[in-house]
Homo-oligomer: A and B are copies of this chain.
Amino acid sequence: MGAERLYIYDTTLRDGQQTQGVQFSTAEKLRIAAALDGLGVDYIEGGWPGANPTDSAFFEQPLQTKAKVAAFGMTKRAGRSAENDDVLAAVMNAGTKAVCLVGKTHDFHVETALGITLEENVENIRASIAHIVADGREALFDAEHFFDGYKANPGYALTCCKAAYEAGARWVVLCDTNGGTLPGEIGQIVAAVIASGIPGDRVGIHTHNDTECAVAGSLAAVMAGARQVQGTLNGLGERCGNANLTTLIPTLLLKEPYASKFDIGVTLDALKGMRKVSRMLDDILNRVPMKQAPYVGASAFAHKAGLHASAILKDPSTYEHVDPGVVGNSRIIPMSNQAGQSNLIRRLSEAGLEVEKGDPALARILERIKQRETDGYSYDTAQASFELLARDELGLLPEFFEVKRYRVTVERRKNKYNQMVSLSEAVVVVKVDGEKKLSVSESMDEAGCDRGPVNALSRALAKDLGPYQEQIDDMRLVDFKVRITQGGTEAVTRVVIDSEDGQGKRWSTVGVSPNIVDASFEALLDAVRWKLVRDGAKG
């Protein structure tokens, strides 16, 4: 097949981190990088080594990716050589295969923001790119404010880009830094750049979403000849975000004229993981997934209008531009038991529960999920709680133990050294095998630090479960997410708990209540019960 190569450059870990409220830990960066690599992107920009401890720590990890990892930085400053610029040195020292440097191309910025001459800036670009190339690395030049610069002074903007290209940059990336350039203009300017002598397969595009046109601007640039597209998962990024790769990747892979013209490295098989990757990122950020997100959103294939829903049953292509399964998403037809049931059978089967079509338990499970979702529950990620609910309706859930009551107290006061300290204490009363067991726990860790009421409850609950004790001994709570959500007419708290066992197996459970401690306890109970089911404990 004669498809031309189009490269995907992900900057979730760098420009994505410029989103208000986003600050990845090194461990989170590693998880995201692994997901991006699984998807099949060509480049993963990891951050700016030297700019902050987290970014620096990321590049110290031994990464095994198919994708090229890129370190980001800026062109050297005026008045010193590339070799003697310590900011650039920190970027080079990260030792990545690819190095991407941002530099000015808009005369106004050179003079206003940098305060150097136009010639000095060109020389900074040339020398910095040459320095990377001389070191045997792949060099990328992010031409900052290129489109605004080109409109103000096309000659100077092109001179900057050519300096990078001629110094050996593999890619000259045209950036619409302020996000204000509309797609039509982006297409015209990219075409002009290519006509000026920088070949399209050396030109990249980097757009922002300030006019809601970042995706369309990227598509226009590709039509004009650019062959690298930069963006982020879920459209994270400074201000309104960057071009959304979660949308762009399926569009480039599935839609004409792109689909037959280009090979983008991402396979149709990998594309099926798109929804999952998008949700993983939301989970890491503790964000509510955007329901209306193209392709991957929960509403992206939800058909509410009555006329639409009935046509969909005749032929899904009547109201769907692509099949939801291609991105790992699924169709929602509200009030349609038929569609709902086949969905449910599939999900139960994934949990090892084979249920025949027409089983009356299916309708009961759907009804209970619907009611619980109205109350504020969400079973999207809490697969373990979903399984327990289904098992209960199917008569496959033993009652291992019963919680009779609990009490938890948090007290904060001054200690004898006149420091404010807190102490949490929990009492849990359970009935196991007909026997009542009272357990009490504090929540102090080894360092004498109070870990709070949920920790205390978790310890008290796990302290003495009689015959089940052994099976839960290797469980630990690894993540805890809380959201305020609407349950009926009142705001309630939804808690999702991730637990892990000794083998590294993870599972998620959910609890909902106006009381955060109750919601947490419900999720904790589900976590324990799911572990017992999984290990085949007898009730």
Q: Which residues from chain A sit less than 8 Å from chain B, CB to CB? A: 18-21, 23, 25, 51-52, 74, 108-109, 112-113, 177-180, 182-184, 209-217, 219-220, 223, 235, 238-241, 244, 247, 251, 255, 286, 288, 290-295, 297-305, 307-308, 310-311, 314-315, 318-322, 332, 334, 336-338, 373, 378, 380-381, 404-414, 422, 424, 443, 445, 449-455, 479-486, 490, 493, 513-518, 521
Known contacts A180-B322, A240-B294, A381-B21; is A516 also within 8 Å of B516 by CB? Answer: yes
Query: What distance in Å separates the Cβ of A78 from its nearest Cβ neighbour in chain B?
Result: 15
Closest to A483 in B: B286
Once the chains are docked, how many angstroms separate the CA of A8 from the CA of B485? 31
Q: Which residues of B contact A18 (CB under 8 A)?
A: 304-305, 338
Q: Shortest CB–CB separation between residue A39 and chain B, in angstroms?
A: 18
What's the least CB distance linking A350 to chain B, in Å?
15
A404 to chain B, nearest CB (A): 7
Kindly state the separation between the CA atoms of A252 and B205 in the bound complex, as whole angstroms.
24
CB <8 Å contact, A515 and B451:
yes
Looking at the assembled complex, report how far the CB atom of A479 sits from the nearest CB atom of chain B, in whole angstroms: 6
How far, in whole Å, are A381 and B22 apart by their CA atoms in the complex? 10
Contact between A381 and B20, CB atoms less than 8 A apart: yes
- Asked if A255 and B411 sit within 8 Å, CB to CB, the answer is no
Partner of A109, one of B288, B293, B311, B337: B311
Residues A113 and B318 in contact in the complex (CB < 8 Å), given A215-B212, A292-B240: yes
Q: Tell me the minimal C-beta distance from A473 to chain B in angstroms.
A: 21
| Contact partners of A240 in chain B: CB under 8 A | 292-294, 297, 299-300
A407 CA to B247 CA in the complex, in Å? Answer: 49
With beta carbons under 8 angstroms apart, the residue of B52, B178, B217, B405 that contacts A319 is B178
Q: Which residues of B contact A20 (CB under 8 A)?
A: 291, 298-299, 302, 304, 332, 334, 380-381
A380 to B18, CA, bound (A): 11
- The listed residue (B74, B183, B315, B413) touching A219 by CB distance below 8 A is B183
Report if A452-B297 is in contact (Cβ < 8 Å); known contacts: A20-B291, A407-B410. no
In the complex, which residues of chain B have a beta carbon less than 8 angstroms from the beta carbon of A177?
319
By the criterion CB–CB under 8 Å, are A219 and B182 in contact?
A: yes
Copies in the complex: 2
Check A452 against B493 for contact (C-beta < 8 Å). yes
CA distance A443 to B514 in the complex (A): 10
Contact B453 A112 (CB under 8 A): no
Closest chain B residue to A219, Cβ basis: B182
Roughly how many angstroms separate A509 CA and B493 CA in the complex, as a whole number?
A: 19
- Asked if residues A449 and B490 are in contact (CB atoms below 8 Å), the reply is yes
Distance from A254 Cβ to chain B, minimum over Cβ atoms (Å):
9
Contact, CB under 8 Å: B211 / A247: yes
A239 and B303: CB pair below 8 A?
yes
Most buried by B among A235, A251, A521: A251
Please report the C-alpha to C-alpha distance between residue A406 and residue B410 in the assembled complex, in whole angstroms: 8
Enumerate 6 A-B pairs (CB-CB under 8 Å) in ascending A order: A21-B381, A51-B338, A178-B320, A209-B292, A422-B515, A450-B514
Instruction: Choose among B299, B378, B484, B515 the residue that contacts A479 (Cβ–Cβ < 8 A).
Output: B484
Residue of A214, A215, A311, A404 with most partner-chain B CB within 10 A: A215
Given contacts A213-B215, A412-B521, contact A311 B452 (CB under 8 A): no
* Contacting pair A299 B19 (CB below 8 A): yes
**Given A238-B303, A445-B490, 7 extra CB contacts under 8 A:** A20-B334, A178-B320, A180-B255, A212-B215, A405-B411, A453-B453, A454-B516
Q: Given A183-B219, A380-B21, A286 and B486 touching (CB < 8 A)?
A: yes
* 5 A-B pairs closest in CB distance: A180-B321, A216-B216, A452-B515, A482-B482, A405-B413
How distant is A79 from chain B, measured CB to nearest CB, in Å?
A: 18
Question: Is A235 a contact of B113 with CB atoms below 8 Å?
Answer: no
Q: Is A336 a contact partner of B23 (Cβ separation < 8 A)?
A: yes
Q: Which residues of B contact A411 (CB under 8 A)?
A: 405-408
A212 to B216, CA, bound (A): 8
Contact of A238 among B304, B318, B445 (CB under 8 A): B304
In the assembled complex, how far is the CB of residue A183 from the closest CB belonging to chain B, in whole angstroms?
5
Cβ of A318 and Cβ of B235 under 8 Å apart?
no
* A52 CB, min distance to chain B CBs, angstroms: 5
Q: Whose C-beta in chain B lies nearest to the C-beta of A145?
A: B318
When chains A and B are docked, how far (Å) is the Cα of A113 from the Cα of B307?
A: 9
Bound CA–CA A180/B480 (angstroms): 34
Closest chain B residue to A298 by CB distance? Answer: B20
Question: B235, B321, B449: which contacts A179 (Cβ < 8 A)?
Answer: B321
**Which residues of B sit under 8 angstroms from A251, Cβ to Cβ?**
182, 211
Q: What residues of B have a CB within 8 angstroms of the CB of A235 in the complex?
A: 292
B294 A211 Cβ-Cβ under 8 A = yes
- Report how far A255 CA is from B251 CA in the complex, Å: 27
Bound CA span A37–B210, Å = 25
CA distance A311 to B104 in the complex (A): 12
